[in-house]
Amino acid sequence: MRIFLTFWVFFTLAFADSAFARTVYVIANPSIQVSKLTQDELEKIYLLRQPYWPDGRAIVPVNREASSDLREFFSNLVLKQSMRSLSNYWDQMHFRGKSPPVVQGSNESVIAFVRKIPGAIGYVEELANLDGVKVMAELP
Amino acid sequence: MHQVGEICELGLFYGRISAKTRPILLTQMHSNSRSMSKLLKVVRIGILCAMSAGPLHAAHAQSDDYILGQGLNAGSFNIAGYATVEAHAKKGQDAGLLIDDLSLFVKGSVNRVINPFLEVEMAEADLWFEGSPPLKNIDPRVDIERLYNDFILDDHVTFRVGKILSPVGEWNSIHAGPLVWTTTRPLTSYRNYPEFVTGVSAIAEGLGAQELRVETYWQPGSDLDGPDPSNVAYLFHNTYGLHAELPLGLTDKIGLSLQGADVKGTREKQFLVGLNGRFTLDRLEIETEMTWTALKHPLVVRKHKTEYAGYVQGAFAISDKLYLIGRGEFFRDRNFDRTSRNFLIGLNYRPKAPISWKLEYVEQSGPNLGISSGPIASFNILF
């Protein structure tokens, strides 16, 4: 019984850790006149199928670097695609003349970029130092 | 109304599709230097445009980092390209090593009405072929592949003016070596219609819940910087058409192409109907393009008044990076009694998305319409 309880506690904690440890915050430049985004809208933005905000400003999606596990998490959760499929897709879109998401290498640089560029939208893992950007969604 | 049409795209590109049989060559110094001066001129125009428009486009400043496959973001401009180096030992031809494509494009967006794109390619530069010293007969062809400007009318509609890739099927629109599975390009994807159109086009994207994409286009007269007659089966002018594409997934889709054109040098008219599709079934990706072309003129004598062509290709993921490719194609040409057929088996190794190594063997039968039997290998990179 003790062994069973030990395993039960271990697996519960392990599961709880994977389920709750990671929260992704979708942030945007404060000039954007949209306050919330759904996962479907985010998917359209990152797949370059929604190029403009409702006010006509171009959307500039920001991605993390290819080796980032946060990018992998975001790709699986929101875009529901593997990193490799997405890279192929963005390369094809790039060849067709569309701009793939801009890549930034850290939470800080994503925040700095989104703060600076009107129309920019990105995702970060921590809520620290979010001055000058607004949070549009919290995932999952 | 939109305030900004931000993404600035002016493109310079060198590159082109492989697998057209190249006539054995003639090294003419003056044609070589003419090609190079044309290339330099285009590069100069691209750089000047980029420099002059750059300051106007601070609104969409991007990361200045270079990303393999997506080029260099320099302020509001993106400069990228791709290269294909090919080695072949095709039946009836000297074995050779060539830079089949070296492409460069620069793209940018200044506002809703100034969104230029320029792509230039240097193709078929022989590095070596059997019986000749290396680098003796480099004689690249330089072409303007795309040169257009987009006028963004609203979220879904773009009006485009200039030279574009003819939207028939998909291979012709996304033909860069690193983005296709094989070095050998199917005949169906280029032989019997114009690969380029110079004129006007209207593109509607994201239509309805199914995100339908429709492109219509019209080319009055001839193409800008048209193809060298020795490199194509037929020359065309007065082209018009429509391509509709229904996405079924990230890259899965079905497409319908309709295109009318006049065959240059004759008074013959042709009308093409094409279907294309891509379907992913677990580890297998199936891709197909089919065309049917009707030819019309009472005085032009052809073996057939209709032409049929099509291929089916499968790419099976052996692992995350290695793919087994198989393809079968038929082409019943207007000028030949017999149908041309070719079958391909090959491997595609993609260590990273923008890089691929390809090794394939093609077996061809019937009239040779531009694909020869033999092994071909290539290295492809999108940079």
Between residues B322 and B75, which one has the greater pLDDT? B322
Closest chain B residue to A79, measured at CA = B250
Are A104 and B63 an interchain contact pair (Cβ–Cβ within 8 Å)? Answer: yes
Candidates B1, B4, B163: best to mutate against A (most CBs of A within 10 A) is B4
Tell me, what's the pLDDT at B265? Answer: 87
Residue B293 has pLDDT above 60, yes or no: yes
Residue B1 CB neighbours (<10 A): 6
For residue B4, give the nearest of A50, A57, A100 by CB distance: A57
State how far residue A10 is from chain B, nearest Cα, in angstroms.
33
Q: What is the pLDDT of residue B49?
A: 41
3-state secondary structure string across B117-141: EEEEEEEEEEEEECCCCCCCCCCCE
Q: What distance in Å separates the CA atoms of residue B327 and residue B186, rounded to the nearest whole number? A: 9
What pLDDT, on a 0 to 100 scale, did the predictor assign at position B28?
38
Tell me the Cα Rg of chain A. 17
Within 8 A of B155 by CB-CB distance, chain A residues are 50-52
For residue B72, is it within any domain?
yes
User: B57 falls in which pLDDT band (50, 70, 90)?
Assistant: very low
- For an interface test with B, the pick among A46, A52, A65, A95 (most B C-beta atoms closer than 10 Å) comes out as A95
Structure tokens at A58: 């171009």
Burial B119-146 (b: 16+ CB within 10 A, else e): bbbbbbbbbbbeeeeeeebbbbbbbbbb
Q: Do A94 and B71 make contact, defined as CB atoms within 8 angstroms?
A: yes
Choose the closest CB to B155 out of A51, A94, A96. Answer: A51
Tokens of B36: 């190079």
Among candidates B340, B272, B342, B341, which has minimal Cα distance to B303? Answer: B340
Q: Please report, as a single letter, which amino acid is at residue B163.
A: K
Give residue A18's pLDDT. Answer: 47
Q: Which of B61, B206, B353 sits opposite A87 (nearest CB)?
A: B353
* Domain carrying residue B46: 1-148
pLDDT for residue B122: 93
pLDDT band at A21 (very low <50, low <70, confident <90, very high): low
Which residue(s) pair with A137 in the sheet?
A26
Q: How far apart are CA B286 and CA B181, in angstroms?
A: 11
- Rounded to the nearest angstrom, the minimum Cα separation between B220 and chain A is 23
d(CA B325, CA B356): 13
Query: What's the pLDDT at A10?
Result: 54
Q: Domain for residue B63, yes or no? A: yes
Domain regions of chain A by residue span: 22-139
Please list every residue in chain B whose beta carbon sits closer than 8 Å to the beta carbon of residue A41: none
Between CA B176 and CA B189 the distance in angstroms is: 13
Tell me the CA end-to-end span of chain A in Å, nearest whole number: 35
The answer, yes or no, to whether residue B2 has pLDDT greater than 90, is no
Say yes or no to pLDDT of B357 above 80.
yes
- Percent of chain A at pLDDT above 90? 57
Identify the pLDDT of residue B64.
56
Residue B298: pLDDT band with limits 50, 70, 90: confident
Question: Can you tell me the distance from the alpha carbon of B194 to that of B197, in angstroms, rounded to the nearest whole number?
Answer: 7
Can you tell me the distance from the alpha carbon of A91 to that of B340, in angstroms, rounded to the nearest whole number?
A: 33
| Mean pLDDT within B346-361 | 95
- What pLDDT is attached to residue B54? 39
In the three-class reduction of DSSP (H, G, I as helix; E, B as strand; rest coil), residue B173 is classed as: coil
- The residue of chain B with its CA nearest to that of A81 is B250
| CATH superfamily entry for domain A22-139 | Periplasmic binding protein-like II (3.40.190.10)
Strand partners, B161: B149, B200
Are the Cβ atoms of B2 and A118 closer than 8 angstroms? no
Q: Is the peptide bond before A140 cis (omega within 30 degrees of 0)?
A: yes
- pLDDT for B259 equals 98
Cis omega before residue B375 (within 30°)? no
Which residue has better confidence, B85 or B36? B85
Is the pLDDT confidence value at B52 over 50? no
Q: How far apart, in whole angstroms, are the C-alpha atoms of residue B148 and residue B373?
A: 37
Q: Which two tokens stand for residue B160?
A: 């485009």
**Contact check, Cβ <8 Å, B7/A99:** yes
Q: Which two tokens stand for residue B225?
A: 């910087």
Would you give the distance in Å from CA B65 to the centre of its chain?
27
Strands (E), B302-373: 306-317, 322-332, 340-352, 355-365
Taking any CB pair shorter than 8 Å as contact, residues of chain A touching chain B are 47, 49-52, 55-58, 60, 81, 84-92, 94-100, 102-105, 113, 116-119
What's the whole-number mean pLDDT along residues B159-183? 96
CA–CA distances in Å: residue B3 to residues A52, B110, B154:
10, 11, 11
User: What is chain B's mean pLDDT, rounded?
Assistant: 84
- pLDDT tens column, B234-279: 999 999 999 999 999 999 999 999 999 999 988 899 999 999 999 9
Position B84 pLDDT exceeds 90: yes
Query: What values do phi and psi take at B213, rounded to 5?
Result: -120, 130
| Residue A92 to residue B174, Cβ atoms within 8 A | yes
Q: Which residue has the tokens 């990303």?
A: B67
Residues B251, A92: C-beta atoms closer than 8 Å: yes
* Residue B294 near residue B306 (C-beta atoms within 8 A): yes
pLDDT of A72-127, one tens digit each? 999 999 999 888 889 989 999 999 999 899 999 999 999 999 999 999 999 999 77
Q: What is the pLDDT of residue B4?
A: 32
Are A117 and B3 within 8 A, CB to CB?
no
The answer to whether B173 contacts A88, with C-beta atoms less than 8 Å apart, is: no
Length reported for chain A: 140
For residue B30, pLDDT beyond 90: no
CB contact under 8 A, A100 and B70: yes
Give strand pairing partners of B208.
none
pLDDT of the residue at B19: 36
Backbone angles phi, psi at B257, to 5 degrees: -120, 135
Place of tokens 């921590």: A126
Residue A57: is its pLDDT beyond 90? Answer: no
Is the backbone of residue B118 left (phi > 0), alpha (psi -120 to 50) or beta?
Answer: beta
Using DSSP's 3-state secondary structure scheme, residue A71 falls into: helix
Looking at residue B134, its pLDDT comes to: 87
C-alpha B88/C-alpha B96 separation (Å) is: 6
Domain count, chain B: 1
Please answer whether residues B85 and B371 qualify as being in contact, where contact means their C-beta atoms are separated by less than 8 angstroms: no
Residue B361 confidence class, pLDDT cut points 50, 70, 90: very high
Write down the pLDDT at residue A44.
92
Residue B241: C-alpha distances to residues B87, B197, B217 (Å): 36, 10, 5
Inter-chain touch A118–B71, beta carbons under 8 Å: no
Contact A103 B67 (CB under 8 A): yes
Q: How many residues are present in chain B?
A: 383
Interface-testing mutation among A81, A94, A110, A121, with chain B (most B C-beta atoms within 10 A): A94
Note whether A81 contacts B250, CB cutoff 8 Å.
yes
What is the predicted ipTM? 0.80
Residue B48 has pLDDT above 80, yes or no: no
Nearest CA in chain B to A118: B59
Nearest to B63 among A51, A58, A103 (CB): A103
What confidence tier does B138 reach under pLDDT thresholds 50, 70, 90?
Answer: confident
Q: How many Å apart are CA A50 and CA A58, to the nearest integer? A: 9
CB contact under 8 A, B354 and A92: no
Assign B269 to helix, strand or coil. strand
Residue B3 lies in a domain: yes
Instruction: Report CB contact under 8 Å: B4, A104.
Output: no
B62: pLDDT strictly greater than 70: no
- Collapsed DSSP state (helix, strand, coil) of residue B145: strand
